[in-house]
Amino acid sequence: MSMNSSLILSSTTFIYALATVFYIGSFPFKKQILAKAGFWVIVIGLIGNTTGILLRWVESYQMGYGHAPFSNMYESLVFFSWTLAVLYIFVEIKYKESSIGVFVSPLIFLAIAYASFDPNMSSKISPLIPALKSNWLIAHVISCFLGYAGFALAFGFSFIYFFKPKDPKSTSVFARLPSWEMIDELTYQMIVFGFLFLTIGIITGAVWANSAWGKYWSWDPKETWSLITWFVYAIFLHLRMMRGWHGTRLALVSIVGFLAVLFTYFGVNYLLSGLHSYG
């Protein structure tokens, strides 16, 4: 059975790749129709992504393991791609600004492509280790990944600052990017969203750790890095709200924050061992 979900998820990778091609192509050719197509292709990709995750969940029950598909690196990347797609679709519908897809669609594609094509990545469904058998797993993982998705979108949007020409009369292809105010607002909103969910993720993780191991916090490398990430974004919000920072300076803080997210997510798994290292 396990071929089904893996097959759907591999196909989803190509669908997201196609969306990325449409979005990026819409830019030099200045064709709105391509960006529109990119949007609908992401919606189709999201349907495939959702189906793959749900099928995997069913398959794990059929195999007698019965757990939500968030237990290894492969599953978490597939889910990360899903959260990015959902959040992006929401933002594009809300702001009607398709050119931002150029900066986000590659992230949606890369997350699932890494899961699908890395030869060391196992897409095998395996039983959960006893400590992970808890309903807190779902709450903790979903809130952390919604947080990561918010930060990833903010990261994509932060790059727009470096591409958008300063001169309002510029005729460069990048002149079509959203206004400075809008990029600023989008980056800020995504970080508020991400910060809220990362905070919930850290709290649910602590409560869960307490029920599993009898202590809320153990300075495991991932916990420590989550806290560092939380502080970077807290600094971002402080600079924006209290110091009135805007523009490129603030975009750099957002980029540094996302590098901390990536280290929390990948670096800790591959470089430091701890309770959170995925097999």
For residues 110 and 146, give the distance between their C-alpha atoms in angstroms, rounded to a whole number. Answer: 17
- Angle, CA 260 vertex, CA 160 and CA 12 arms, to 5°: 65
- Residue 275, pLDDT > 70, answer no
Higher pLDDT, 159 or 28: 159
Cβ(101)–Cβ(38) below 8 Å: yes
- Residue 2, pLDDT > 60, answer no
* The pLDDT of residue 244: 92
Average pLDDT over residues 248-275: 88
* The pLDDT of residue 3: 55
- Angle, CA 185 vertex, CA 76 and CA 204 arms, to 5°: 35
Higher pLDDT, 246 or 50: 50
Pick the closest to residue 153 from 118, 188, 196, 115 (CA basis). Answer: 188
Cβ(48)–Cβ(11) below 8 Å: yes
pLDDT, tens digit, for every residue of 127-178?
Answer: 887 777 788 888 999 999 999 999 999 999 999 999 998 888 888 888 889 9
Average pLDDT over residues 203-218: 89
Phi, psi of 125 (to 5 degrees): -85, 125
Q: At what angle do helices 247-262 and 221-241 cross, to 10 degrees?
A: 170
